[in-house]
Structure 1
Amino acid sequence: MPEKAAGALRTIGELAQEIGRPQHILRYWETRFPQLRPLTRAGNRRYYRPEDVALVRRIHQLLSQEGYTIRGVQRLLAAERGGKAARAAAPAPAPAPASDPAALKAIRDSLDQALKDDSAGD
């Protein structure tokens, strides 16, 4: 059987076989990880998009190879999603006014010190 293209949808059977877990485990993960939402068609057939496949692979790795619990993976994924949302929602810092020589000197001095600290660590 030829390999599917990287962007092709995967059935639950194909994905379960790929990661070496039974299909019921993938269905269970869908109940525990709200980020995992495959497409469902008639007869509740599941089709996993490339981003779903990547998430399943990551969950599998965290659980089976890195020793996380289900709860630990839930927290990790929630923190990552929350961090991305916070970074996207945070306004960009206002630039220092170019006409304020004291602010520019403070920036220059902090950069100079950072370079000295960095070269001292080598």
Structure 2
Amino acid sequence: MTDKAPDAFRTIGEVSKALSIQPHVLRYWEEQFPMLRPVKRAGGRRLYRPEDVELLAVIDRLVHREGFTLRGAKKWLQSRDKMELAPEPVAPAPAGDPQLVADLIALRAQLARALA
């Protein structure tokens, strides 16, 4: 992106250039995606944290490459956040058919690659 450290905050211009997204689009997405909240300095200057930049890259991929609407991308991101916060099961599932278990593990890996 620039010569800054990976955990450094970025200006809207730096993010715009790095992700090839116009600044007005970034500002609009801030209104549409409540989870996107860059730090605002005096005079309204935006500084994006690394997690903001990652979220913008995901939004860009969903909207421009995968064909999501903004509304659909917002719902997908909100459901993803809920899935990540879901508690782990208290007890492990009982062992089942070894072939079924192998098939399910392969399917899970395939889904993870598709969502990455």
Separation in structure 2 between the aligned mates of residue 116 and residue 25 of structure 1, nearest angstrom: 48
Q: How big is the alpha-carbon RMSD for the aligned residues of Structure 1 and Structure 2?
A: 2.2
Distance apart, 1:12 and its partner CA: 0.5
**Identical columns (%):** 41
Separation in structure 1 between the aligned mates of residue 100 and residue 91 of structure 2, nearest angstrom: 26
Match for residue 82 of structure 1? 82
Separation in structure 1 between the aligned mates of residue 4 and residue 98 of structure 2, nearest angstrom: 50
Q: Does 1:93 align with 2:90?
A: yes
Separation in structure 2 between the aligned mates of residue 119 and residue 36 of structure 1, nearest angstrom: 38
Match for residue 68 of structure 1? 68
| Partner-residue secondary structure (3-state), 1:53 | helix
Change in CA separation of 1:37 and 1:118 when aligned onto 2, cut-off 3 Å: closer
Match for residue 36 of structure 2? 36
- List runs of 5+ in structure 2 lacking aligned partners: 104-116
Separation in structure 2 between the aligned mates of residue 18 and residue 116 of structure 1, nearest angstrom: 45
Task: Count how many residue pairs are aligned between Structure 1 and Structure 2.
Answer: 101
| Partner-residue secondary structure (3-state), 1:47 | strand
Separation in structure 1 between the aligned mates of residue 91 and residue 102 of structure 2, nearest angstrom: 29
Distance apart, 1:45 and its partner CA: 0.3
Instruction: Give the TM-score normalised by the residue count of structure 2.
Output: 0.76
Separation in structure 1 between the aligned mates of residue 66 and residue 102 of structure 2, nearest angstrom: 35
